[in-house]
Amino acid sequence: MAATLCVGAVKELFNDSVVQRCLVHKGRNIKGKLSKRHWGELSRLFARIRHIQGLVAAEDVLGELQSF
């Protein structure tokens, strides 16, 4: 809740700001909404995200995430 208020305040003052999210916590949040059978695939995709090098690789992983 406090983080949401902070992000809102920053966006209000600096409307062009970009908010960076922690991939570990984002993955945990998503896992909480998925059935356990999808956890392995999600973990694999997040591992790829953490090791991306370059625009082409990022676009490939983005495509995989969108189809997931």
pLDDT at 1 over 70: no
Does pTM top 0.75 for this prediction? no
What are the two backbone dihedrals, phi and then psi, of residue 19, each rounded to the nearest 5 degrees?
-100, 125
| Contacting residues for 46 by C-beta, under 8 A, at least 6 apart | 23, 26, 27
- Residue 53 CA to residue 20 CA, distance in Å, equals 18
Instruction: Calculate helix-pair angle for 39-50, 55-67, nearest 10 degrees.
Output: 160
Kindly report the average pLDDT of the chain as a whole number: 87
- In the prediction, which pLDDT does 33 show? 93
30-43 pLDDT tens trace: 999 999 999 999 99
